[in-house]
């Protein structure tokens, strides 16, 4: 997935390294025990479905091929159509070799909870 952020071409990558960052970002810790393995994709799916700009921010920051400053990314994000960006992120997760199975499982779990 590619984005243009402040005239910079930014490629979002979904590899093992990025999935680990997402798990760390969206995981949790309870009494010193860390939970998060596989939670990253599930949380991004839920957040993107809810058009949550914080989740989109964290997803872009975690998967970007270049370093983006927080203020730079936040300012860019709030100039975007959040609904369209959320859909683009969901499409990316649904089609990426690294995340399509986890995406489907997150969809199935959400359907079961409704």
Query: Is the CB of residue 60 less than 8 Å from the CB of residue 3?
Result: yes
The number of distinct structural domains making up the chain is: 1
Please give the Cα distance from 64 to 73 (Å, whole number). 11
**Alpha-carbon gap, residue 45 to 109, rounded angstroms:** 11
107 vs 17, 42, 75, 86, CA distance in Å? 23, 8, 30, 15
Predicted confidence band of residue 106 (pLDDT cuts 50, 70, 90): confident
Number of alpha carbons in the 13 Å side-chain half-sphere of residue 39: 12
Cα 78 vs. chain centroid, distance in angstroms?
16
| Structural domain span for residue 54 | 2-113
pTM: 0.87
Q: With 80 as the cut, is the pLDDT of residue 37 above it?
A: no
């Amino acid at each position: 997935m590619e984005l243009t952020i402040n005239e910079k071409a930014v490629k979002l990558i979904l590899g093992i390294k990025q999935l680990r960052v997402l798990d760390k970002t969206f995981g949790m810790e309870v009494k010193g025990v860390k939970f998060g393995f596989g939670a990253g994709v599930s949380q991004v799916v839920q957040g993107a479905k809810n058009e949550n700009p914080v989740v989109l921010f964290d997803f872009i920051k975690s998967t970007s091929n270049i370093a983006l400053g927080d203020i730079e990314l936040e300012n860019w994000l709030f100039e975007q159509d959040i609904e369209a960006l959320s859909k683009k992120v969901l499409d990316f997760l649904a089609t990426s070799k690294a995340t399509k199975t986890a995406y489907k499982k997150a969809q199935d779990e959400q359907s079961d909870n409704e």
